Amino acid sequence: MLTIGDLSRATGVKVPTIRYYEQMGLLSHSERSEGNQRRYSKGERDRLSFIRHARDLGLTIDAIRELIELSQHPEQPCAEADRIAAEQLAAVRDKIVRLKKLEAELERIATHCNGNQVADCYVIHALASHELCADEH
């Protein structure tokens, strides 16, 4: 059995986040020792590692909850898990498109400034007026 501190070190998840996941129902409420200290099993450590990896990939709490539920039925088809992953992939690709637009606009603004004083600074003027942007971002 692991203490909450041991679990935190083993998974790289901070203690308050572990408690939050318990409150959200992603992790079962831990057993308590006679001294009322939380104790976690290897299975709970594995679940927390699963949750952390899913969060690192940007999955929402609701999506993780669905995946945990699906994982408890190994005999079921994995179409729902595939759907969740595909939705996250689409969301990430959409963010990449938006970030590339932001990158291009910031690069244009940052390299367009020829002023020596803030009064003539293109960065300041471009941020003050969206009309100076090359396109929608």
Q: Which residues pair with 2 in a beta bridge?
A: 40
Q: What is the tens place of the pLDDT at every residue in 98-116?
A: 999 999 988 988 888 776 7
Do residues 29 and 22 lie in contact, with contact meaning Cβ atoms separated by under 8 Å? Answer: yes
Q: What is the tens place of the pLDDT at every residue in 38-83?
A: 889 999 999 999 999 999 999 999 999 999 999 999 999 999 999 9
Phi, psi of 135 (to 5 degrees): -160, 180
Query: What is the domain class of 4-76 according to CATH?
Result: mainly alpha
Mean pLDDT estimate for the chain: 90
Domain parsing of the chain, residue ranges: 4-76, 80-132
